[in-house]
Amino acid sequence: MKKNLLLLFLLLTWSIISYSQTTCVRINQAGYLPQTPKVAVFLSTEPLTLKMFTVRDAKTNKVVFKGKPILRNAQSWGMKSAFRLPFTPLDKEGAYYIEANGVRSLNFVIGDDIYKGAADYVLNYMRQQRCGYNPYLDTLCHQHDGYIVDHPTRTGEHIDVRGGWHDAADYLQYVTTSANAVFQMLFAYTKNPHAFKDEHNALGQRGKNGIPDILDEARWGLDWLVRMNPDTSVMFNQIADDRDHANFRSPSQDKVDYGWGPGLGRPVYFVTGKVQGLGKYKNRTTGVASTAGKFASAFALGSKVFANIDPVFAKSIAKKSKEAYAYGEAYPGVCQTACTVSPYFYEEGNYVDDMELAAAAISQLTGDKSYLDKADSWGKQEPITPWMETGTARHYEWYPFVNLGHYLIASSADHNTQKRYIEYMRQGLDDILKRAGDDPFMNGVPFLWCSNNFVFGALTQARLYNEATGDPRFLEMEAALRDWIFGCNPWGTSMICGYPSGADTPLLPHSAYTNEWGDPTWGGLVDGPVYQSIFKSLRGVMLKNPDVYLPFQNGIAVYHDAIHDYSSNEPTMDGTASTTFYLSSLEKRNATPTLGSYIKDDQGAIIRMDIRQKKIYLVFTADSAFEGIDYVRKTLKANGIPGNFFLTGNCIRLHGATVKQLIKDGYYVGPHSDKHLLYVSWENKKNTLVTPDSLDADIRNNLLELTKLGASIKDVNWFIPPYEHYNKDIVARSNAAGLKVVMLSPKTYTNADYTTPSMKNYRSSDQIINLLYDTEKSDVNGLNGAILLIHPGTHGERTDKLYLRLDEIIKNLKQKGYSFGSFKGDSAK
């Protein structure tokens, strides 16, 4: 733990250097889709006049696009200059960067597949939030839940309500957010089923079970909702209350005492339809319909999705959906969450949207038009989601943040009704667009608590509106809000922990997982920026480390990557679930086939070329040790085969004449890091040791050394990271530099030639060669497409040099029918 926290501190320190600049170009660090609006944002604390900007190829530095900046209001973000930099006409896939007024952006990619796997990635956080059994920790938690409270006759009775998800950094559980999360994930699957893989079982553990992971996650939530709604008129709305807010702790070590002993059971709040609160503070509940409607909609869509997977279960929750809806009709009003020791709770102020969605979902499940008519009657009462219209809300007042009932009605109703609901959706989006005004980021979302949830509400509505109408009027705003989430914001950071790889993402989210184990909450959507006024009114916020974004905290809203900033840096379960539809829709719109028959490892590096061809790729990596290069060159030439050399800037500077001859002889010569930096921690592969800009610079300098010796950059498409040690971040940043990461094939063993007799893992050349030939015999594909890595220079302590056996290896493999391939040219495409 201490080691991980030290690493985080070092990364933050390096980031301070990176972000001390007060002029910057902000981009979407995930990249840009070819056929959508593409805009970056220029910010400066200096009053500047910007007449032109350029987009350059990341490898060649050649200008590929010149654009005219659009002046925008800088004052709202505490700056003196702000411009939008549109480059939409540039739609060629590749790696680029933007240059404006001498300031360079990070490298980025334009490509169809940039969001591939994004919707599956956020499910990591959903699994981490599981209660009852937690697959992330592989442990049980909250096994004594719970004890009924606020019931006229059953108060104090034990009821089994284990399961579900913890709401955020705390361990409270709410039907309000959980039912919405279930519906959002089910909706995402119904719209974009192809985007979700099966890599986990029902418990969230690694291993396939024949069901897409998103449905395993939704089922986990549905099972819990069934427990929370055991009978027609018996509903429970939450487990635990604000007494939970004690300290950071492992969920399995939650010892908060609610009256039944430390960790021996938590209160389960009965839905009374009346004002609730066991202590001094009360909520403002007026009915049950908001909760009943959420139960009903989740059960209805769940029944439809699971009809063929588990018919018995699907039939049972179909019945429950109608019962829950009827209960909501009987007792209209909002059912708010309960508080005890503080006046803070989810202040839901509307319920007609929940009843509208429930009726529309039941109509789609049953085909019963009367439910569609009911949905229409509810929908007319709230044409526009209030926060979209007013730009303000109390905490979770207008929840959910997007009304999917409007879309369901528009998808099912007659033409006139459809037209009306499409118009409702348009009006909500138009209100957001008007509020954005001349904001440089085109963001009209209010920076209230959970502002990122509002962003995804707007994104979801924008995407559904465009799909339903083809109307392009909100496409630029949609792209801007998408870009905002992935780094085109004042702070230059993505708002999803760990995504995209290689980007600036939250390292210190407000979570026990980070506090106890030093791990970010992978896949979690953090709350996002809040108004200055909100942040300054908070209690208990401590920014213990230097603020890496300090130059950009003078605007209308602030964001801190700080573990104790629970207002802007706390991931939320429901917010994360709400990303699944939008992210999966991006994959649907732009899905492309995978690269040929290449095989990639779990970090994204290509570890085997086309296995259909009986071809082997010999690669040689070198830093300072290069004593065997003459022998290697002679051997390759004598055998008439290509070789592929990946060399550091250090090597090139030391052995310029030899490297120049390799290039002249036609061998592939590519980068291996300029300074042979250690990019990734040896102890924890998830920990990247270099910032995005320093990595970009290291690769760029390596390429520069190659060009000095005559290498043609257009032929340099492949990269092997230093020490052959990397992670997803390194692969992503390499892609953004225009390079594909290639790596030695597993079980080829030739890279063990670096070992020396004093090492425990020492292998002699005889051992290495025998292991290689054993793999050739045992692998079903032999060595087809294999990448064999040999070092042309090793430590002087090793006298048994494998490169001296190169001729023997080549001849043996030739006899087995193998040819040898080159990475030279545009084979990376």
What integer pLDDT is reported at residue 546 of this predicted model?
A: 84
Which CATH number is 51's domain given?
2.60.40.10
Domain of residue 49: give its range. Answer: 2-110
Residues 383 and 301 in one domain: yes
What average pLDDT score do residues 691-710 get?
94
Strands (E), 664-767: 668-671, 718-719, 740-741
- What are the helix (H) ranges across 331-368? 352-366
Q: Are residues 580 and 609 in the same domain?
A: no
450 HSE (CA, 13 A, CB side)? 27
State the DSSP string of 491-511. T--BSBTTBSTTS---SS-SS
If you write DSSP's letter for every residue of 108-167 in order, what string do you get? Answer: EEE-TTTTTTHHHHTHHHHHHTBSSEETTTTEE--TT--EEES-TTTTT-B-----SB--
Q: How far apart are CA 254 and CA 145, in angstroms?
A: 12
Q: 55 with 195, same domain?
A: no
**pTM to 2 decimal places:** 0.92
CATH of the domain at 618: 3.20.20.370
pLDDT value at residue 591:
45
Residue-wise pLDDT for 117-150, tens only, equals 999 999 999 999 999 999 999 999 999 999 999 9
Token pair in block for residue 308: 């063929």
Q: Which residue has the tokens 């400066």?
A: 44
Give the lowest-confidence range in 584-598, 600-614, 696-710.
584-598
Shared domain for 165 and 247, answered yes or no, is yes
Q: Which helix (H) or strand (E) holds 96?
A: strand 94-100
pLDDT at site 17 = 35
Q: Give the pLDDT band (50/70/90) at residue 552.
A: very high
* Residue 291 in this model has a pLDDT that exceeds 80: yes
- Claim to verify: residue 249 and residue 342 sit in the same structural domain: yes
In terms of domains, do 53 and 158 share one? no
* Residue 21: pLDDT band with limits 50, 70, 90: low
pLDDT value of residue 412: 87
55 backbone dihedrals φ, ψ, rounded to 5° = -110, 130
In a domain, 577, yes or no: yes
Amino acid sitting at position 415 = H
Of the residues 78, 110, 142, the one at which a domain ends: 110
pLDDT tens digits along 243-252: 999 889 999 9
Distance of CA 595 to the CA centre of its chain: 22
CA distances from residue 447 to 384, 451, 533, 663 in whole angstroms, order as listed: 19, 5, 10, 55
Using left for φ > 0, alpha for ψ between -120 and 50, and beta otherwise, residue 395 falls in beta
Report yes or no on 251 lying in a domain. yes
Query: Helix, strand or coil for residue 80?
Result: coil
Which has more confidence, 597 or 383? 383
Of 49, 81, 110, at which residue does a domain stop?
A: 110
Q: What is the pLDDT of residue 538?
A: 82
Backbone φ and ψ of 496, nearest 5°: -115, 125
**435 and 452: one domain?**
yes
CA distance 530 to 527: 9
Confidence of residue 589 (pLDDT cuts 50, 70, 90): low
Q: What is the pLDDT of residue 544?
A: 78
Instruction: Report the alpha-carbon distance of residue 351 to residue 359 in Å, rounded.
Output: 12
For 352-375, write each residue's pLDDT tens digit.
999 999 999 999 999 999 999 999
Is residue 389 in some structural domain?
yes
Q: How many CB atoms lie within 10 A of CB 68?
A: 11
Mutual angle of helices 213-228 and 289-305, in 10-degree steps: 140
User: Is the separation of the CB atoms in 828 and 717 below 8 Å?
Assistant: yes
One domain, residues 583 and 683? no
- 3-state SS assignment for residue 768: helix
Residue 443 neighbours by CB under 8 Å, 6+ apart = 436, 455, 480, 481, 484, 489
For 151, residues 6+ apart whose C-beta sits below 8 A from its C-beta are 157, 270
Percent with pLDDT over 90 in the chain: 91
Is 607 in the same domain as 683?
Answer: yes
Does residue 392 register a pLDDT over 70?
yes
Identify the CA nearest to 461 among candidates 522, 526, 400.
400
For the chain, percent of residues with pLDDT exceeding 70: 96
Token code pair at residue 804:
């001296």
Q: What average pLDDT does the segment 459-473 reach? A: 97
Band (pLDDT 50/70/90 cuts) for residue 10 is very low
Q: Final residue of a domain: which of 563, 589, 615?
A: 589
Strands 23-26 and 63-67: unpaired
| Residue 70 bridge partners (DSSP) | 84
Mean pLDDT within 80-90: 98
Q: Is the per-residue pLDDT at 172 higher than 90?
A: yes
Indicate whether 540 pLDDT > 80.
no
For the record, the structure tokens of 177 come out as 């957010």
**pLDDT-based confidence at residue 588 (cuts at 50, 70, 90):** low
The mean per-residue pLDDT over the stretch 299-327 comes to 98
Please report whether residue 825 resides in a domain: no
The three state secondary structure string of 678-693 is: CCECCCCCCCECCCHH
| Cβ-contact 407, 424 below 8 angstroms | no
- Mean per-residue pLDDT, 736-761: 95
CA distance 673 to 623: 9
pLDDT at 595: 46
Residue at 785 is within a domain: yes
pLDDT tens-digit map of 719-735: 999 999 999 999 999 99
pLDDT at res. 6: 38
Average pLDDT, the chain: 94
- Bond before 146 cis per omega within 30 degrees: yes
Residues 498 and 632 in one domain: no
pLDDT at 112 over 60: yes
Structure tokens at 225: 């909702």
pLDDT for 543 equals 80
Cβ proximity of 620 and 791 under 8 Å: yes
**What is the per-residue pLDDT for 596?**
53
| Residue 660 scores a pLDDT above 70 | yes
Q: Is residue 828 part of a domain?
A: no
Q: What is the CATH number of the domain that holds 199?
A: 1.50.10.10
Instruction: Please choose, from the candidates 62, 65, 60, 57, the residue with its C-alpha nearest in 3D space to the C-alpha of residue 90.
Output: 65
Could you tell me how many residues make up the chain?
829
Q: Do 585 and 683 fall into the same domain?
A: no
58 closest CA partner among 20, 88, 39, 31:
31
Q: Say yes or no: 794 and 699 in one domain.
A: yes
Give the residue among 113, 138, 278 at the shortest CA–CA distance from 201.
138
Q: Is residue 130 part of a domain?
A: yes
- Give me the number of domains the chain comprises: 3
* Confidence check: pLDDT of 590 > 80: no
Query: How far is Cα of residue 277 from the mean position of the Cα atoms in its chain?
Result: 37
Given a cut of 50, whether residue 5 has pLDDT beyond it is: no
Q: Specify if 826 maps to a domain.
A: no
For 188-219, write each residue's pLDDT tens digit: 999 999 999 999 999 999 999 999 999 999 99
